[in-house]
Amino acid sequence: MNIPSDVQDLVRQIFLNCNQRVSSKLSRIPNIHETSLDHSFIEHFTHHCRPVETPSQWTVRLDCHFIGGGRHWDRWEVADFGILVVFRHKGKVLRTKAVLLQSKRLFPREAPDIETNPLDVDLGFNFLFVRDERWADLVAPRDFTFDNASLYRSLQVGDEQYEAIKKHERRFKIPIHYLLYNPLTIPSTTSFPIIMPETHGIINCEIGCRVVPAPILREMVEKRSVERPPSYSEVATQLQSPFAAGNTAGGWCLESYIVDWLMACKDGMIDETPQYQHLSHIFSQKSAPIHAAVLITFDMPSASALE
């Protein structure tokens, strides 16, 4: 692939900003529900749903669509997001790429039970009304700590979703990757309640959102002698190459994966079926086990860029 640097820089900055936004939210509100991080992820791209012409005369457009997630017709959700890349020349589609991302957040050491109980969902808005006896607990001083021992608690080895992801990969031959939500830095501690005035400088995203192919993560967790969710330390140090060291330890940074791997056609599924029937089947159905989709379309001045 020969994608101009200005096109790469444009897409990289969009996904870098998304990474910073989601990771900053987790750092500032460590007991936030994972669904809220998902909403921040997909909502970010609604600010970029417009065509942009770069100096190299490439047109770049992002689109996003909420499909609906959860459990559909006795099938477990296998991905929160689908990322599609379409290359066009004078409007004609030349190539499509796609990957599925299943998000899993890192949990602070002090809050193993912060995700919503299924009963809370059934209660609807009544969930917002806190009983008097619980209010004191909610506002009591407490710390939330992310460190090497923090766990991706909702990544349960061998559960129904874990097995459904393996089956979906075998059936459709489309890569499924884990999108790991991490805070900006590790270790880090946030104290509640926040004391006004709240002052904090800009924190660089040293860790943040990381992307790891599901088969590589499964290989790592299934080698262990313990059956529990993986810790940050295990993901950062025990994954096989290319995630063993350096800036890819713990997975590709979100923006690096999108630009340097998916866009560069080093990863993802290429749909070669007539009229892109394979991707249409996966992404166009409300009952499909996926949450939302982001489409990145490039219209190139010359088809030679794909050579």
Q: Is residue 128 part of a domain?
A: no
Q: Is residue 119 part of a domain?
A: no
**83 near 106, Cβ under 8 Å?**
no
Q: Is residue 196 part of a domain?
A: no
Identify which has the larger pLDDT, 161 or 307.
Answer: 161
Residue identified by tokens 């830095």 is 185
Looking at residue 73, what is its pLDDT? 37
Cβ density class 51-63: b for 16+ within 10 Å, e for less: eeebeeebbbbbb
Identify which has the larger pLDDT, 77 or 294.
Answer: 294
Domain of residue 223 covers 5-111+144-191+210-306
* Range of lowest pLDDT (14-28, 49-63, 97-111): 97-111
Question: Does the pLDDT at position 294 exceed 90?
Answer: yes
Q: In whole angstroms, give the CA distance from residue 180 to residue 157.
A: 15
Give phi and psi for 138, each to the nearest 5: -70, -35
Q: Is residue 84 part of a domain?
A: yes
Question: Does the pLDDT at position 90 exceed 50?
Answer: yes
Question: Does the pLDDT at position 206 exceed 70?
Answer: yes
Q: Is residue 126 part of a domain?
A: no
For residue 48, name the pLDDT band (cuts at 50, 70, 90): very high
| Domain tally, the chain | 1
Q: Checking phi first, is residue 246 left (phi over 0); if not, alpha (psi -120 to 50) or beta?
A: left
Q: Is residue 121 part of a domain?
A: no
Q: In whole angstroms, give the CA distance from residue 160 to residue 75.
A: 9
Span 273-291, average pLDDT? 57
Q: How high does pLDDT run on average in the chain?
A: 85
Looking at residue 159, what is its pLDDT? 83
Q: Dihedral of CA 171/173/174/177: which sign?
A: positive
Looking at residue 161, what is its pLDDT? 85
Q: Is residue 122 part of a domain?
A: no
Q: Is residue 33 part of a domain?
A: yes
CA 237 to chain centre: 20
Looking at residue 164, what is its pLDDT? 85
